[in-house]
Chains A and B, each alone.
Chain A
Amino acid sequence: AQSVTQLGSHVSVSEGALVLLRCNYSSSVPPYLFWYVQYPNQGLQLLLKYTSAATLVKGINGFEAEFKKSETSFHLTKPSAHMSDAAEYFCAVMLYTGGFKTIFGAGTRLFVKA
C-alpha cells in the first residue's frame, strides 16, 4: 500500500538555522512527490514538486528537496530559517490508479525561534 511518513510532528529551529523536514514514501510505482505548506488561517499551497526531471528540486521561499530513490525519501531543506517560515508542512505522493489520487503525510509543524 502506498503511504507517506513524515518524521516529527513538530520541529523547532532558531532563526538562521538549517531547516530539515523529513519525508519517506512507499510506492510500488515511480511516484510524483510534492511538498505543500499551510500558513495559519490559509489554504495549502505548493512549495515544490518532483517531476523526475531532476532529483534536486528547488521551490519557493528558498526551500528545496532531494529525491533519493534508494532511500525512498524526499526531505525538505532550507539553509537559513526565517520567522515567516513558521507553518505546517505536508509531504504528498500522487499516484495514478485509473484516476489521480494524492496521499498526504500527517504534517510537520515548524516553529522558528528568534
Chain B
Amino acid sequence: DTGVSQNPRHKITKRGQNVTFRCDPISEHNRLYWYRQTLGQGPEFLTYFQNEAQLEKSRLLSDRFSAERPKGSFSTLEIQRTEQGDSAMYLCASSPGRVPDTQYFGPGTRLTVL
C-alpha cells in the first residue's frame, strides 16, 4: 500500500492556460474523489468515480473542468482556460467502496494561477 499519489505537487500557470493533474489511487480502490480546498475552508467536493464511471459531479464545477478515469485506475483532472479564482489545492482521495466509506487522501496539487 503506497498510498494515494498526486502529480505534480505544485503547478504555477498563467491565466488562460490549460492544466492537467494526475491522481494514482491505492490499488484496488474502486472509488475515486476529487476535491478543491482553498485557504481557511474545508475540501469542496468536485466529482466522484466508481471504477471508470463518473457518478456525481458538483454543480459548482464549470464546463472548464473535466475529469476522467479511463481504465478505472488513475484519474486526471483538467482545467481549461484557467482563471485566478482556480488557484487552490486540488485533492484526490480513493476508497475501497465499503459503506460507510473511509477516504484516503493524497497530498494534493497546489495550483497558482498568475
Contacts and interface: CB of A to CB of B under 8 A. Distances in A.
Contact of B42 (A49, A96, A98, A106): A106
B25 interface: no
Interface residues of A, number: 28
Nearest to A104: B42
Interface residues of B, number: 26
A84 interface: no
A38 B4 CA distance: 15
Interface in A50-106: 50-51, 90, 92, 94, 96-106
B45 A102 contact: yes
Report whether over half of chain A's contact residues are helix, strand or loop; otherwise say mixed. strand
B40 A99 contact: no
Given A42-B107, A43-B108, A97-B56, A102 B102 contact: no
A14 interface: no
Contacts of A94: 100-101
A49 B100 contact: yes
A4 B43 CA distance: 12
Nearest to A32: B100
A69 to B, nearest CB: 16
Interface of B: 4, 31, 33, 35, 40-45, 48, 50, 55-56, 91, 93, 99-108
